[in-house]
Amino acid sequence: MKKILSLAVLFLTGIAAHAQKQVSATSPDGQTKVTVTVSDRIYYDVESHGEQLFKQCHIGMTLSDRVLGEKPVLKGKKVTTVNETITPIHPLKYDKVENNYTLLTLTFGGNYKVEWRVYNDGVAYRFITALKGDIEVMSEDGTWQLTTPGKLVLQQPGGFKTSCEENYSVVSSNEWKSDDRMSELPILVMSEKQKVLISEFDLFDYAGVFLKSCGEGSNAFSIIQPKCPIEYEDQGDRSHKILKEADYIAKTAGTRSFPWRYMYITQSDTQLPENVMPVRLAPANVIGNTDWIKVGQTCWDWLNGIPFGPDVTFKSGINLDTYKYFIDFAARNGVGYILIDEGWALNTRDPFKTNPEVHLPEIIAYGKSKNVGVILWLPWLTVEHHMDLFEKFEEWGIKGTKIDFMDRQDQWMINFYERVAKEAAKHHIFVDFHGAFHPSGLDYKYPNVLTYEGVRGMEYNGSCKPDNSVWLPFIRNAVGPMDYTPGSMLNYQPERHHGNRPICSGVGTKVFNLAIFVLAESNLQMLMDNPCRYDQWPDCRDFLTGVPVNWDETRVLAAEAGQYCVTAKRKGNKWFIGGITNSTERDLQLKLDFLPAGKDYHMTNFADGVNAHIIAMDYLRQESRVNSTTTLPIHMARNGGWCARIDVGK
């Protein structure tokens, strides 16, 4: 990413621990403040817009031979203001992001620092160490103490081994018990006036974070992390059985910066889906030229891979004719890729022996002739045992890989992600991580990492319900790209849903399934349905295949976390609007004042039909002229949606 940097040093003072015990830093607009208290530990408070959100939170890091943050000796402080503009390589929300903050750096005896960034809309901190050799990190102390009780929106797995696909649960902060299930990141803290999204970023050579309650009534929660595995064996074709763990969470370089822990603070629910803290905290691109990385849409065969109908004159399946059919559809509709899931190889453990029914070289050549690239699915364990496959895939002409079933966030697995990204980049291969945890910076350091799963998406069929999916713009997708695999053409209300592979269907109305294609942010957006079904609804097909994956501008028009979200996004001279609701129907008024003034524009929109609350397939397609003074009344049925395309260049 390109940066224009302007630094203004306010003051630099070396101080002894007894001379000052408390240090504060305030955001550029004066509305957000962090106060750090140095006593027996390092404590901090966070205030925003006149409200104290967190109090006496404490941080530290236990190493094998010392504890950073225990009886700390403050040696110096430095306060700096930073004003820069960032141009993301893959702009998921904006083509330019302002990165303006107050930087507070506290230097402590023992060769470590804590760095704070205070933004108008958030706070982030991280440890920086300057220690000799390697160090063993036994545990990390990071505790959030809420000033007043609030609601927590959590994703609670049964243990550290998780694909991060659990449904969300809403828990009162003072009722979360220490023996209750922990939560993955990100989590959403909902107080009466403000909301705070908590996550991590710049995570490398370290263990990922989970959060656990400090006890019922404590109104507090703290970091817990998996230990590093040191002995393991293969368990089937896609998992490790961990035989022995170290007593540390990470063995790493003693001189380094550690991951950011950040709090994105909002006063309106419409701000949550607009979170750009990941862009601000991201590491630099290390792979150099990225012109070869092409984002876009892809067809996909796993859920609905059996074409049928009058134009299908061949036996469908995992074979050459089926994938040529997918390629022909992609070429006709401007879709850049097809993704071939499990079955293209004779054995999932051997990526070099292909299924003779597939005729992979012919498929690759056929796709190239139609300007359609090929992506191949792989279990992660096969990649681990055959890291040279990226070189071979480059020779074959493969454009990308979908790597699956990692299901862990320990240091070993975090390092696997980076090894894959690095090796794939060497051979001009992009990566989609499934069975993955939340985005934490790898996709900025290695922009060939296009997307991650880590979400209860459409693969879950009947249990992927709008009541859960409506949280995604506010939590999971707010922290980075998300492979939700949207775009179902066969649609049911939850109580009537049925269908499994190879005839999968989506929960929610047809327009819900169109609209979430606009809302779901991913640099590689899946078309989860079969080409033959898209061709049955050409108006829906044309809308979906016209939706960009990167955007110049994002505006949330109406939102209530966990209830509904309506967002407008611009790419060039086209605006797309996507709105979804949970099991409650909605009537909203949308102002189109974001459009350029002084001219009428053509709008095509899709709305739930009058019977969509029962027959989810019911929808209306409408065309009209709109302008910047237009206020649109929209209706969304239960588990429904509304979406539109506006061409401002016409």
Cα angle vertex 473, ends 469, 475, to 5°?
90
List, as one string, the DSSP characters of 237-283: TS-EEEEEE-SSSEEEEEEEEPPEEEEEEESSGGGGGG--HHHHHPP
| C-alpha dist (Å) from residue 452 to 76, 484, 485, 497 | 40, 9, 11, 27
φ/ψ of 165, rounded to 5, equals -120, 20
DSSP-based three-state secondary structure for 632: strand
For 474, the token pair is 């506010």
Give bridge partners of residue 221 from the DSSP assignment: 144, 213
597: DSSP letter: T
45 is catalytic: no
Catalytic residue, chosen from 45, 115, 202, 404, is 404
Query: Who's near 170: CB < 8 A, 6+ residues apart?
Result: 151, 152, 153, 154, 562
DSSP-based three-state secondary structure for 516: helix
CB atoms within 10 A of CB 276: 22
Give bridge partners of residue 34 from the DSSP assignment: 25, 46
φ/ψ of 339, rounded to 5, equals -110, 120
- Helices 389-396, 360-369: inter-axial angle, 10-degree rounding: 50
CB atoms within 10 A of CB 492: 20
Rounded CA-CA distance 222/497 in Å is 39
29 is catalytic: no
| C-alpha dist (Å) from residue 612 to 332, 468, 578, 608 | 30, 19, 17, 6
Rounded CA-CA distance 229/94 in Å is 39
Catalytic residue, chosen from 166, 443, 453, 459, is 459
Please confirm whether the linkage preceding 502 is cis (ω < 30° from 0): yes
List the one residue out of 630, 634, 632 whose CA is nearest residue 585. 634
For 30, the token pair is 């004066």
Would you mind telling me the total number of residues written for the chain in this entry? 650
Cβ-in-10-Å burial (0-12, 13-18, 19+) of 448 comes to buried
Rounded CA-CA distance 91/551 in Å is 6
**Neighbour-count burial for 220-249, b at 16+ CB within 10 Å, e otherwise:** bbbbbbbbbbeeeeeeeebbbebeebbebb
Contact between residue 106 and residue 113 where contact means Cβ atoms under 8 Å apart = yes
For 287, the token pair is 């792979």
Contact between residue 15 and residue 75 where contact means Cβ atoms under 8 Å apart = yes
Active-site residues, by number, are 404, 459
